[in-house]
Structures are given as structure tokens and as C-alpha cells.
């Protein structure tokens, strides 16, 4: 590992934060972010940093404090105020107390805050306070854990680190660890760092740079030691997936496997209208990870606990293991049986684990659902589950680094070893760990993946924005080009990580299948389909060009059929029902002269959707229609339909564009301007399933009596 310290960047940090927060805290922030930017050191809120400093209280007296990272902050992005100042003397005096539980520690820390409204400091604040050095860094370095998490790991760490590094056997994190760290430093005050067995590594220094570069040095020692024994260090480079169609995975079978796994991981709710609480998947298909899954002995090596117990709330104690051959991947029935068997076996083992330790469960803590968060599939990769894409990404990042570190253990000829099972249980159900998980109320479409066709147009883009606002993950599809590209960028700005742009030609069966495959590779499957793509054409029947009519048939009718067919098959494989919403039109019920091609083909699409309500209801797939009228644009995206129809309508009525919009507004009973946002709300309403409704058509037209469905 190389130091990423830059004098220029350090000076920039001081210039940015120093005046308000002080140079020491500015540099503390700078090096904290350097540590947080290395996935091989810390992941998603792991690790901790602190600085001891002197501040002036309101009476003008000097006061020693320790500014320590607050619980819940991520080192990669922590701001200066993310290091909470705590009075140092009261925390140091805690050493005189033999035992405190977590709640008591938190109470003492909050009593020592300078600002009672500040977030709670890390539970490891006493550890940092009892280290008699100004700057302290703590990480979960993979290279160090690859040594400590082996049979005989303490001896390996000592051999790798040298005499100036203290090696502690595993100590349960918390107050017990604070005492152990202080005692060890009393015995070896000249040490430059400390390794906590099966937990992590700590360094310190008089300056932020010294502490940071000692961390780099210790990790480099571990890497060099492993390399000397034939192992390469775990790769730390990782770039999140792009917001365009995912590249081919190591095994294209993942597009078939992921929806079945996702369906098996959905939890039943007992609600007849919304019977499942779904998860979102992130697939880890890096070549080295896939190769590690196929190595001899991979199951015994990898179906083991995570590198550090801090990860348990994300990963559970063990991954599930799913063996599949090509025949099982290709056969829907065999695939469903294999996935169901693997998930059921994991759940049975997890229930037995809970039963063995239920007496240790803290009051007020509920066990997690018996559902794995990582499913290892040799030949495919790791399928990682979360409540949404952000949660799934955290699990995937941890799983990726864990496999790589365990590969180092294997390359060294070692045997992976974790902490005892009772410690796993205690950490997995530790109230402070559970407090790190989000407590906010989920938005109505959380965990749902919705594919929208014709997304780059006025109505489509409005639907995508509305679904994102309601918490959905949106697969925005349209013909390739600037329209789709610019929409994808805009949607990502609204909800980073929950928008995927996929080129799609609804008239091409392979393109339709590919869009569902892209969604499955990205998030594990699709729960809702909004059939919105459509074309318009103005012509009297007597002058109708047959090729023009057939062009509308291909998009409006064939495209609808292909999407209904693919959705039906996809929902059947996923096994958790689904929703389809067709964007129909008032012209189905009240067609207009000169608009026969559009009215007839949209009526055919509408009829296909009504038939789908009959055929798909047994699988709990609901099909509903929305029928908007006169949506001219959304933001800067004009309606393709009105681009086609508008000139003729303006000419016939001797109106300009503004006058035409006013004409259509004034003809409805409510005198309402109909927008894409209105359509989006209607689509979302159906997807939320507030009532047991299928086969309904909801007009969004301000009231047009002739177009009322009947």
C-alpha cells in the first residue's frame, strides 16, 4: 500500500476548513478521508479516527477534548463536524471502572459532550482516549485480517509486523477492549501500532500524517509478509457500476439466476395486496471473485464468517451456497427447486443458530429475518441483497473484499478462522450495531424495480421521476440516443444509484429480453412494467398509407405484446407476482377523426392488456391502464405524440401552440392542465396496490364525458 498524502492537498484542506475548525481538525479530516477512500482499509462506516486538542470553553478556560468520529459517519466523506468533541478527562477516568455495558458507555459519552445536541461519538471513544497520542487511526485492513483470521494468526501477525507493534488476541469490542488496549500500551509504551486479533489495526502519531503513514506502513508489512508466502494482497480498486446497460457478466446465466434468487429472498408480509417485502440484488462478478468461487475447497473456505464482526449486521454470519449446473440454469423448474433448496437450508441453519443463543438476545432487539444476504453461486458470482440498491451495494463491497482476503489465506496455505459463534451472535444482535441501520419509514415503492418504456418522452420521463420520488428503482428504456442518455444523467441526479438507462426497441424480441436481463443483472429482477412507448400518425382513413399504419402496429401493438409476454415469463420465474401498467389513451373510448391509426392500434394494445388481466391474475400479476389526455410536454421534453399531431390540430383550429394547449385544457370539465406528473401519480398508485384492483382504466383527463370508460 502506498501513501496518498499530498502536501498540496493537505494545504488545501487547511485552507478549506482550518479557519472555522482549526488546522489539526482540518488535517484530521483530510487523512480520515484518505483512509476511507481505501476499500482494503475500511468499508461503509467502518474504522475510526480521532484527534486530541485544546479548545476554549465559554469561560475562556482551556479544555482538553478528543474529537472522535461520530457513529454513523463514513470515513470516506466525513466532514470536520463529523468528529465530535468530547471532554477528555471524564472519558479517561472511565479506566478506573472495571465494567460498563454499551448503554452505560453511551450515557457517559453523552454526558461528556460539549454540545448536547451533537451526534453520539463512537463506542470506541474510550479506546482512543486511553491511547496517549494526539492522532489515532483505526481500520479493518484486509491484509492484516488475512493474517490474524487464520489458525495461528497471532504468531503470523507478530512475524509480519515486528517488535514495535503490539498484538492483542481477540477481545470483544467495547469497554473490555479499552482496558486491554490501555494495559498493553502501559507494557509497551514505545509501540507504533497495535493489531486487534480478528478485528483490525490501530496506529497513532504526533501528527495526522505520522499516524496515517504508520497505518500505510503496517498494512504494507502485512502485504509483504503474505506475498513472501505466495499470496498477492487483496485488490482494493473498485468502481461502482455505470448507469448504462451493464457489461456482460462472467456468466450470462446470472440474468436467469438472479430473479429466482431475488424471489426466494422476498419475505412474506401477510398483506394480501402487498404479500412480499422485496430485496434488491447487487451481483459481484469480478473475474477474481468468480474464480475464487470455483477453486477446490471453495465452499469450505468461503462459507465462513466475515473478516470482522462489524460486518455481521450487513452480511449475516454466513453466505448461502448455491451449486448449479448448466442444465439447472436452463430449466425454470430445476432452477427454482435448486434455489429454494439452498435458501431453505440456509434459513434452517440460521434458525438453529438463533435457538442456540436466544438466551443471549438483548432486550428490545429483534433477530433478523432468516434470509441470507449473500448467495454464492459458482460460475456466476456473489448475489448480494439489501433493502435497496444502496444497502445491496454495501453488502456487495464487503462480500467482494471478504472473498479476496480469504483467497490470500488460501494462497498462504492457511486455514481461515473466525471468532467463536457466541461472539458472532452477540455482535450481530448488539443494540449499537442495529442502531447503525436506517430507521426511517420506507417510501411506498422501496425495494421495487420498475421498467418503463418510452422513457425519454414527456410522459415517460415524468413517470420515471415520479417513481424515483416514491422510492422505486427505475429501468428507463427507450431507443438509443441523446434522449435516453440525457434522461439517465438527469434521473441519476435525482436519485443516485436508483436509475438505470437501457436502450430498448420494443419491436425487437431480443431487445425486449435484453432489457429484462439488464435489469436482472443490475438489481436482480423486475417487479413492475410500465408500457408507455407509442407512436402517433395523422391521416384520414381514405388517405391512409399502409406502411405508416403498420409502423404504428409494430410499436403500439407488437411492442405491447412483446412486453406483456416477457413480463409474464419474468414474473413467473421470480415467483412474487408483479404489476403492469399500460399507458393507454382517451382515444380508446373516444377516437378522433384523422387519428385512426393511433386510435385503432392503442385500442388493440388496451385489449391485450385486458386479456393479460385474465391470464396473469392467478400468478398475482395485476394489469391496469391509465388514460391521459393532452400531455404536451414535461420539463424540457416535448411530447412525441403532439409533435406529430399538433401542427394538424393547430391548423384546423387556427391556433398557435399556446392556444392549442389552452383549447384542450378548457374542453375538460375541470378546466385542468394535464401533466406528466399527474400520469406518474396514477401509475405509482397502481404499483403501490392500495386496493385489490386489476383490469381498471383510470382516466387522467380532467373529465371528458365521452371518454369515460364504460
Would you name the residues annotated as active-site residues? 598
Contacts of 626 (CB under 8 A, 6+ apart): 581, 582, 583, 584, 679, 682, 683, 686, 697, 698, 700
Classify strands 621-628 and 62-69 as parallel, antiparallel or unpaired.
unpaired
What angle, rounded to 10 degrees, do the helices at 458-469 and 482-494 form?
20
d(CA 630, CA 639): 9
Find the radius of gyration of the CA atoms of the chain. 30
Structure letter (DSSP) for residue 84: E
Q: How many CB atoms are located within 10 Å of the residue 348 CB?
A: 11
Distance (Å) of CA 546 to CA 329, 493, 542, 543, 594: 44, 43, 11, 9, 14
Task: Using alpha carbons, select from 545, 561, 460, 451 the residue that is nearest to residue 508.
Answer: 561
d(CA 90, CA 324): 58
Structure letter (DSSP) for residue 365: P
d(CA 41, CA 51): 19
Task: Using alpha carbons, select from 661, 634, 666, 635 the residue that is nearest to residue 646.
Answer: 661
d(CA 462, CA 439): 29
Cell match 424480441: residue? 509
Instruction: Provide long-range contacts, Cβ within 8 A and 24+ apart, for 507-514.
Output: 507/554, 507/555, 507/558, 507/559, 507/562, 509/562, 512/562, 512/563, 512/566, 513/566, 514/245
Phi, psi dihedrals of residue 98, rounded to the nearest 5°: -75, -40
Give 388-421 as a DSSP string.
Answer: SHHHHHHHHHHHHHHHHHHHHHHHTT--B----H
What angle, rounded to 10 degrees, do the helices at 676-688 and 458-469 form?
50
Within 114-174, residue ranges assigned H as helices are 125-129, 142-148, 153-161
Residue 352 C-alpha from the chain's centroid = 29
d(CA 515, CA 507): 12
Amino acid at each position: 500500500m502506498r501513501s496518498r498524502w499530498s502536501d498540496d492537498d493537505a494545504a488545501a484542506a487547511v485552507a478549506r476548513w482550518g479557519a472555522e475548525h482549526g488546522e489539526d481538525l482540518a488535517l484530521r479530516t483530510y487523512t480520515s478521508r484518505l483512509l476511507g477512500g481505501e476499500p482494503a482499509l475500511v468499508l461503509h462506516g467502518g474504522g475510526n479516527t480521532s484527534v486530541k486538542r485544546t479548545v476554549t470553553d465559554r469561560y475562556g478556560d482551556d479544555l482538553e477534548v478528543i474529537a472522535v468520529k461520530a457513529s454513523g459517519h463514513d470515513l470516506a466523506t466525513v466532514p470536520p463536524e463529523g468528529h465530535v468533541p468530547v471532554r477528555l478527562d471524564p472519558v479517561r477516568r472511565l479506566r478506573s471502572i472495571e465494567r460498563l455495558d454499551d448503554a452505560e458507555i453511551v450515557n457517559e459519552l453523552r454526558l461528556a459532550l460539549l454540545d448536547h445536541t451533537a451526534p453520539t461519538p463512537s463506542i470506541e471513544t474510550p479506546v482512543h482516549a486511553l491511547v496517549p497520542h494526539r492522532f489515532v487511526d483505526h481500520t479493518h485492513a484486509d491484509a492484516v485480517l488475512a493474517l490474524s483470521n487464520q489458525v495461528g494468526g497471532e504468531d503470523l501477525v507478530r512475524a509480519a509486523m515486528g517488535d514495535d507493534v503490539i498484538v492483542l488476541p481477540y477481545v470483544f469490542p467495547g469497554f473490555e477492549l479499552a482496558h486491554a488496549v490501555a494495559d498493553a500500551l502501559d507494557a509497551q509504551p514505545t509501540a507504533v501500532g497495535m493489531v486487534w486479533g480478528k478485528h483490525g489495526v490501530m496506529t497513532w502519531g504526533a501528527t495526522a500524517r505520522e499516524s496515517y503513514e504508520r497505518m500505510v506502513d503496517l498494512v504494507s508489512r502485512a502485504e509483504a509478509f503474505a506475498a513472501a508466502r505466495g499470496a498477492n494482497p487483496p485488490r482494493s480498486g473498485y468502481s461502482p457500476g455505470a448507469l448504462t446497460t451493464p457489461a456482460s457478466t462472467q456468466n450470462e446465466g446470472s440474468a436467469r439466476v438472479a430473479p429466482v434468487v431475488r424471489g426466494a429472498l422476498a419475505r412474506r408480509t401477510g398483506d394480501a395486496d402487498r404479500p412480499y417485502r422485496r430485496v434488491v440484488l447487487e451481483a459481484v462478478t469480478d473475474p477474481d471473485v468468480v474464480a475464487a468461487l470455483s477453486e477446490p475447497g471453495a465452499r469450505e473456505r468461503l462459507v465462513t464468517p466475515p473478516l470482522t464482526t462489524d460486518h455481521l449486521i450487513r452480511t449475516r454470519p454466513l453466505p448461502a451456497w448455491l451449486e448449479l449446473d448448466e442444465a439447472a440454469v436452463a430449466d425454470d423448474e430445476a432452477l427454482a427447486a435448486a434455489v429454494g433448496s439452498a435458501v431453505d437450508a440456509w434459513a434452517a441453519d440460521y434458525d438453529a443458530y438463533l435457538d442456540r443463543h436466544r438466551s443471549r438476545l438483548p432486550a428490545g432487539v429483534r433477530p433478523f429475518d432468516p434470509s441470507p444476504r449473500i448467495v454464492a453461486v459458482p460460475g456466476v458470482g456473489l448475489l448480494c441483497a439489501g433493502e435497496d440498491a444502496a444497502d445491496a451495494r454495501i453488502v456487495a463491497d464487503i462480500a467482494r473484499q471478504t472473498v479476496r482476503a480469504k483467497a490470500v489465506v488460501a494462497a498462504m496455505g492457511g486455514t481461515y478462522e473466525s471468532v467463536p459463534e457466541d461472539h458472532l451472535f452477540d455482535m450481530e444482535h448488539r443494540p449499537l450495531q442495529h442502531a447503525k441501520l436506517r430507521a426511517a419509514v420506507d417510501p411506498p415503492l422501496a425495494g421495487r424495480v420498475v421498467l418503463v418504456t418510452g422513457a425519454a418522452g414527456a410522459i415517460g420521463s415524468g413517470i420515471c421521476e415520479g417513481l424515483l420520488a416514491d422510492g422505486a428503482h427505475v429501468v428507463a428504456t427507450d431507443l438509443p440516443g441523446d434522449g435516453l442518455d440525457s434522461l439517465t444523467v438527469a434521473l441519476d441526479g435525482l436519485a443516485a444509484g436508483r436509475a438505470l438507462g437501457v436502450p430498448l426497441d420494443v419491436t425487437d424480441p431480443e431487445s425486449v429480453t435484453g432489457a429484462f436481463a439488464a435489469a436482472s443483472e443490475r438489481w436482480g429482477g423486475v417487479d413492475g412494467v410500465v408500457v408507455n412507448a407509442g407512436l402517433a400518425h395523422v391521416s384520414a382513413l381514405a388517405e391512409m398509407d399502409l406502411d405508416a399504419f403498420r409502423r404504428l402496429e409494430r410499436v403500439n401493438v407488437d411492442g405491447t405484446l412483446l412486453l406483456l409476454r416477457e413480463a409474464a415469463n419474468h414474473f413467473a420465474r421470480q415467483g412474487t407476482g408483479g404489476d403492469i401498467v399500460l399507458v393507454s389513451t382517451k382515444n380508446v373510448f373516444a377516437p378522433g377523426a384523422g387519428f385512426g391509426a393511433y386510435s385503432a392500434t392503442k385500442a388493440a394494445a388496451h385489449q391485450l392488456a385486458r386479456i393479460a388481466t385474465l391470464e396473469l391474475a392467478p400468478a398475482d400479476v395485476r394489469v391496469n391502464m391509465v388514460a391521459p389526455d393532452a400531455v404536451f410536454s414535461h420539463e424540457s421534453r416535448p411530447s412525441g405524440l403532439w409533435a406529430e399531431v399538433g401542427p394538424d390540430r393547430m391548423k384546423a383550429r387556427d391556433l398557435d401552440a399556446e392556444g392549442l394547449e389552452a383549447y384542450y385544457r378548457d374542453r375538460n370539465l375541470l378546466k385542468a392542465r394535464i401533466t406528466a406528473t399527474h400520469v406518474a401519480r396514477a401509475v405509482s398508485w397502481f404499483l403501490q396496490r392500495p386496493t385489490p384492483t386489476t383490469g381498471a382504466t383510470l382516466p387522467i383527463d380532467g373529465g371528458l364525458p365521452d371518454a369515460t370508460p364504460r
